[in-house]
Amino acid sequence: MAEAAQTLPVPAVSTPPWYVGRSAGQFFRGRIGELALWSRALAPAEVASLHRETAERFPSAAVALPWRDQFVEVQSPGPRADGTWRTYATRTLAGLEGYQPKGPPSADRWGGRTDLPPAKATGFFRTEQRDGRWWLITPDGHLYWNVGVNSVRPTRRPPAPAPDDFARTATAELRALGFNGLGNGGVSALQTTRDALPWTVRLSVMASFAAEHKQTYPTSGHTGFKEQCFPAFHPDFPAWAKKQAASLAATANDPSIIGIFTDNELQCPPDLLDRHLKLPADDPYLGHGRRAALAWLAERGRPVEVAQLTAKDRYQFIAHVFATYARIVHDAIRAVDKNHLILGSRYNNHRGQFDNPWFWSAVGPWVDVAAVNYYVLWGPQRDDIEEWSAALQRPLMLTEWYAKAMDAPGLANTNGAGWLVRTQTDRARYYQHFALGAFDVPSLVGFHYFKYMDDGSESVALDSAGGANKGLYQADGAPWTELQTAAREVNREAYPLIDFFAARRRAAPPVRLRD
């Protein structure tokens, strides 16, 4: 299918194993029939000869689908302009074969659909799996898919509106754009305004604990921890978690809250185990992490020498760290608030989390919905997300994603994790491509677009210095009309599109080769 020249040193036997077919985001998705290693490079003619000899030995995984959606081309270098511009096939609502827009069905006051048989009403948002698809259930018992937006705040440029005036206007405008909920961040006036949207709570349990000990540093988009090791094993952390969770008592009986984020993008380097083993044993803050890592290895009969550790050791330890954190925070929250969904710490690492076969099953018992800030990949990857959900035994939400365009005047667009594209038209296309992909994943129960408003050119934040075109609105509050039009078109069709994709899958289920 493809080839690329490589210059690779052959590693010593004692180093971690080789990987065949692993990219930055995932493992090889196909099937390998034969694997052979040579001590020299093969000539092109030899490669061609081998291909001819072996091509007929193995069945093709190609599946002929009965539909032919139309794709447009959008170019992006990734999050920054210094990368290589590549073309990505991008699906829009207009290119969806056989789909006719229907408009939103009737809904309850929370945005849950009333055109389908209801579920049990508990007075709070919860989850339920029906006919192979996960749903959120509204407090009134109706199936709900959360179309949300993050960081809903007024412009910081004068004349800034009064908080109550902004909340009333923003809520009405977001509803008109087809949004039915609020994601991470936003002003508190949104929670009490007339016809308020369902919203989410955000704690910073671990980040605040480390900051209290003066062990954090600024980094782009999240909190940096000393040695990139957040102190899940510190003996004082459980008491701190209870202290932070105590604030939830004030909202524990509020039916308009969808759920609770516990932190934001906790750091997860793939060598987290190595880093823990290098922590100073006599440090009163960091030493607990080292002792916990040594105890964990001893319990498994594994060596403590870094050179003898395997990728399995490293990935299982990551799962252990995050499960320890999630359990402590879960127990602290449930002591105060037994009603609201725990959404987790907003996972975002492709290596160490998303490609870790032990991660999701480890954190699953301690979250109700797994929040994932979804970058790097061009839209939701259905098979990956379905595998995560199966391991979690829980649904997921994609709680950050966006594209920023070069034609936004005066904005640097040099930082931030979202895709850089050329024009506002491309931004609008990406929005629809992502939304359509999300509606087609049965284990997803919502997404939150990042974000409401651009970071202005005056921004000095690490993830938006010089400004970034992330928003539905410009930094002065003016709308990005093309993006909003695209968002409105697809957001309002969320429930009909979910039904449409489900019917497609029933009519032509994916064909998988037998093992």
For residue 158, the domain's CATH number is 3.20.20.80
Q: Average pLDDT in the 15-43 region?
A: 70
433 closest CA partner among 98, 90, 69, 76: 90
Q: Average pLDDT in the 124-150 region?
A: 98
* Residue 495 CA, distance from chain mean position: 21
311 belongs to a structural domain? yes
Distances (CA, A) of 25 to 78, 90, 376, 403: 14, 19, 8, 19
Please answer whether residues 454 and 406 qualify as being in contact, where contact means their C-beta atoms are separated by less than 8 angstroms: no
The confidence score (pLDDT) of residue 14 equals 56
The two three-digit tokens of residue 280, written as one number? 């100073």
344 belongs to a structural domain? yes
Calculate helix-pair angle for 481-491, 424-439, nearest 10 degrees: 20
Whether 361 has a pLDDT exceeding 70, the answer reads yes
The two three-digit tokens of residue 167, written as one number? 């909340």
62 belongs to a structural domain? no
The confidence score (pLDDT) of residue 318 equals 98
The phi-psi region of residue 427 (left if phi > 0; otherwise alpha if psi is between -120 and 50; otherwise beta) is alpha
38 belongs to a structural domain? no
Please answer whether residues 179 and 219 qualify as being in contact, where contact means their C-beta atoms are separated by less than 8 angstroms: no
C-alpha angle 48-50-55 in degrees, rounded to nearest 5: 95
Please answer whether residues 429 and 71 qualify as being in contact, where contact means their C-beta atoms are separated by less than 8 angstroms: no
- 171 by Cβ neighbours in 10 Å (0-12 / 13-18 / 19+) ranks as buried
Whether 230 has a pLDDT exceeding 70, the answer reads yes
Percent of the chain with pLDDT over 70: 92
Q: How confident is the model at residue 57 (pLDDT cuts 50, 70, 90)?
A: confident
49 belongs to a structural domain? no
Stretch among 5-9, 290-294, 369-373 having the lowest mean pLDDT: 5-9
Interval 164-190: pLDDT, tens: 999 999 999 999 999 999 999 999 999
112 belongs to a structural domain? yes
Per DSSP, 143 falls in state E
Whether 262 has a pLDDT exceeding 60, the answer reads yes
Q: Average pLDDT in the 397-414 region?
A: 97
The confidence score (pLDDT) of residue 513 equals 45
d(Cα 171, Cα 159) in Å, to the nearest integer? 19
Whether 463 has a pLDDT exceeding 70, the answer reads yes
Interval 442-459: pLDDT, tens: 999 999 999 999 999 999
The confidence score (pLDDT) of residue 366 equals 98
Q: Average pLDDT in the 474-484 region?
A: 97
Q: What is the pTM of this model?
A: 0.90
The confidence score (pLDDT) of residue 508 equals 80
Calculate helix-pair angle for 287-299, 311-334, nearest 10 degrees: 120
Residue with tokens 């989410």: 200
- Give me the domain span that covers residue 267: 78-507
Whether 22 has a pLDDT exceeding 90, the answer reads no
The confidence score (pLDDT) of residue 32 equals 73
Residue with tokens 């919203």: 199
The confidence score (pLDDT) of residue 510 equals 62
Interval 331-340: pLDDT, tens: 999 999 999 9
58 belongs to a structural domain? no
The two three-digit tokens of residue 239, written as one number? 């008491």
The confidence score (pLDDT) of residue 56 equals 78
The two three-digit tokens of residue 11, written as one number? 């590693």
The confidence score (pLDDT) of residue 514 equals 43
- SS3 state of residue 369: coil
Whether 380 has a pLDDT exceeding 70, the answer reads yes
The confidence score (pLDDT) of residue 40 equals 87
Percent of the chain with pLDDT over 90: 83
Distances (CA, A) of 30 to 59, 216, 383: 12, 41, 12
Residue with tokens 């037998």: 514
The confidence score (pLDDT) of residue 160 equals 86
More confident residue, 142 or 13: 142
d(Cα 104, Cα 107) in Å, to the nearest integer? 8
DSSP code per residue over 198-217: PEEEE--HHHHHHHHTT-EE
Whether 52 has a pLDDT exceeding 90, the answer reads no
The confidence score (pLDDT) of residue 83 equals 87
Provide the number of structural domains found in the chain: 1
The confidence score (pLDDT) of residue 175 equals 98
What number of CA atoms fall less than 13 Å from residue 170's CA on the CB side? 33
* Residue 413 CA, distance from chain mean position: 21
pLDDT, mean over the chain: 93
136 belongs to a structural domain? yes
Q: How confident is the model at residue 26 (pLDDT cuts 50, 70, 90)?
A: low
The two three-digit tokens of residue 307, written as one number? 């050179």
Q: Average pLDDT in the 62-90 region?
A: 88
Please answer whether residues 263 and 206 qualify as being in contact, where contact means their C-beta atoms are separated by less than 8 angstroms: yes
Q: How confident is the model at residue 515 (pLDDT cuts 50, 70, 90)?
A: very low
